[in-house]
Amino acid sequence: MNSSTTTYGLHKLPGGDLLSVPGFTGAGVSCGIKPEGALDLALVDAGREMVASAMFTRNRLPAAPVLLCKARLAQNPRIKTVAINSGNANAMTGVDGREAALQMLETLESEVGAPGFVMSTGVIGVPFPLEKVSQGIAAYGSTLRPTAGKDVASAIMTTDTRMKTTAYTFQAETADGVHTFTVGAMAKGSGMIHPNMATMISILATDAPIGVDASRSILKSAVDASFHRISVDGDTSTNDTVLLLSENEQSPHHLTASGIASVERAVTQCAQDMAKAIVEDGEGVGRVAHITVSGAKDDSQAREAAQAIALSSLVKTALAGADPNWGRILAAMANTQADFAEDRLALTLGGITVFLEGRPLVVDQGQVDEAFSQKEVTIELDLGVGKGQAEMYTTDLTHDYVTINSEYTT
What are the domain boundaries of the chain? 10-280, 288-406
pLDDT band per the 50, 70, 90 thresholds, residue 6: very low
Task: Using the CB atoms, write b or e for 284-298: b if 16+ within 10 Å.
Answer: bbbbbbbbbbbbbeb
pLDDT of residue 67: 97
Catalytic, 199? Answer yes
> Across all residues in the chain, what is the average pLDDT?
89
Is the pLDDT at 200 greater than 60? The verdict is yes
pLDDT band per the 50, 70, 90 thresholds, residue 2: very low
Contact 89, 123 (CB under 8 A): yes
pLDDT of residue 397: 66
Q: Examine residue 38 and say whether the peptide bond preceding it is cis (omega within 30 degrees of 0).
A: no
Which among 202, 185, 199, 201 is positioned nearest to 231, based on CA atoms? Answer: 199
Mean pLDDT for the stretch of residues 28-37: 94
Model pTM score? 0.81
For the ranges 24-28, 251-255, 274-278, 350-354, the maximum mean pLDDT occurs at: 24-28
pLDDT of residue 280: 78
Mean pLDDT for the stretch of residues 186-209: 72
CATH 3.10.20.340 for domain 288-406, yes or no, is yes
pLDDT band per the 50, 70, 90 thresholds, residue 195: very low
Is the pLDDT at 344 greater than 90? The verdict is yes
Fold designation for 10-280: L-amino peptidase D-ALA esterase/amidase (3.60.70)
What is the Cα–Cα distance from 165 to 186, expressed in whole angstroms? 4
Mean pLDDT for the stretch of residues 136-164: 94
pLDDT of residue 317: 84
pLDDT of residue 196: 41
Report how far apart the first and last C-alpha atoms of the chain are (Å, whole number).
Answer: 46
Q: How many CB atoms lie within 10 A of CB 238?
A: 21
pLDDT of residue 198: 34
Of 25, 199, 241, 268, the active-site residue reads 199
Summarised one tens digit per residue, pLDDT across range 226-269 is 988 887 555 567 888 999 999 987 777 889 999 999 999 999 99
CA 248 to chain CA centroid, nearest Å: 24
pLDDT of residue 60: 84
Mean pLDDT for the stretch of residues 336-357: 94
Secondary structure class of 59 (helix, strand, coil): coil
Summarised one tens digit per residue, pLDDT across range 271-311 is 999 988 888 775 556 778 899 999 999 999 999 999 899 88
